[in-house]
Amino acid sequence: MRNELPMSQAVPESPPGQLPRGLPEAARRAGGMLVDRHGRHVSYLRLSITDRCDFRCNYCMAEEMVFLPRAQVLTLEECLRIARIFVALGVSKLRVTGGEPLVRHNVIWLLERIACLPGLKELVLTTNGSQLDRFAPALQAAGVKRINISLDTLRAGRFREITRVGDLDKVLRGLDAAQAAGFQRLKINTVMIRGGNDDELVHLVDFAVQRGIDISFIEEMPLGDRGLGRRSSHFSSDEALARLQNRFVLVPSAESSGGPARYWRIPGSVTRVGFISPHSHNFCDSCNRVRFTARGDLYPCLGNNDAVPLLPLLRAHPDDDRPLGEAIMHGMGIKARGHDFAHQMDTPQVVRFMSMTGG
């Protein structure tokens, strides 16, 4: 019989040696169980269910990627267990990601079960859209509320160059299917690449407006070593905003989707234009998330190498969630105050690619 959480019973008030040193007791009592050493509540988990992908986006992974052997990847049951423990500890929003989550066999089985976890308010997904034409209705039925679809260009040739293998038409068919399926919200995520797609930003916003969906522009992060550096391809949110303001009236909005994006509204349209600006508008002070990889590693900060490997614990205690819950709480004690991407544009300090941690 599995030893179910709630962790409020599993973890006593302040057992020495079990909770991270410096954990602010008052803050811990005020909300969920996950509070980092800087007093930030963690209520959002990004769960990567595979490091594999059917694309090879040139800013995200190497051309010749070596993927994890299957035995080192969490089973779907283990993914569900991790989700359940995090939700019991106070996580209310969970994003399933990857790699490409929709290439994982039986992904719908997992999503249906995560969506039902008591206490989870929102299950969302990030995808490259390549499989959405066949999965969109099933995702909606499974309880996924919102989907982010990565789309960096609307030109087929350029799409192929950036993704190295992807087919733009297939992704656009996937977007059609997602719109027809009736999700609460759909959003395009566009990584801005100087000389790569910065001439298309206006066009991409027009596209989002015509479709009545949101769009967020992301500053490229120095994650993983491509051997090229990232300084020359960096394109800042401020420059993008200035370009867009030449074409659209953009009204700043205080809305939040629970993430780091800052939003602008275009009067007369439902579209929100967001900017995720890890370089130019650091959002670490309000960070509320941690990441869990398909290899079973807990990464409290995307821009940092500190991790808690939990696969051994997961497999050593198949029927007792308590040691895992305690290890996760302990992981809050190593969450870095923030990233320092600005100084890593030539040589990244974070050696793992985004596809390995989960975006």
Site residues, ligand SF4 (CB under 6 A): 53, 55-57, 60-61, 98-100, 128, 150, 355
Which DSSP symbol is given to 65? P
Does residue 59 interact with ligand SAM by CB under 6 A? yes
Tokens of 63: 């051309």
Q: Which residues pair with 186 in a beta bridge?
A: 147
Of 42, 25, 61, 31, the C-alpha closest to 289 is 42
Q: 56 is in the binding site of which of ligand SF4, ligand SAM, none (Cβ under 5 to 8 A by kind)?
A: ligand SF4
89/31 Cα distance (integer angstroms): 10
Nearest to ligand SF4 of 57, 91 (CB atom): 57
Helix then strand then coil, % of the chain, to nearest 5: 35, 15, 50
In order, the DSSP letters of 105-118 are TTHHHHHHHHHT-T
Does residue 359 interact with ligand SAM by CB under 6 A? yes
Nearest to ligand SF4 of 99, 348 (CB atom): 99
Q: Contact region for ligand SAM (CB under 6 A) — 165-173, 217-225, 298-306, 334-342?
A: 217-225
DSSP SS3 for 291: strand
Nearest to ligand SF4 of 114, 149 (CB atom): 149
Tokens of 345: 């544009």
DSSP run (H or E) holding 185: strand 185-192
- Please report how close the Cβ of residue 57 comes to ligand SF4 at its closest, in angstroms: 3
Q: Which residues pair with 94 in a beta bridge?
A: 45, 123
Q: Contact region for ligand SAM (CB under 6 A) — 124-132, 173-181, 235-243, 303-311?
A: 124-132
Does residue 244 interact with ligand SAM by CB under 6 A? no
Q: Contact region for ligand SAM (CB under 6 A) — 52-60, 153-161, 263-271, 282-290?
A: 52-60
Q: Which residues bind ligand SAM (CB under 6 A)?
A: 53, 59-60, 97-98, 100, 126-128, 150, 189, 191, 218, 220-221, 223, 354-355, 359
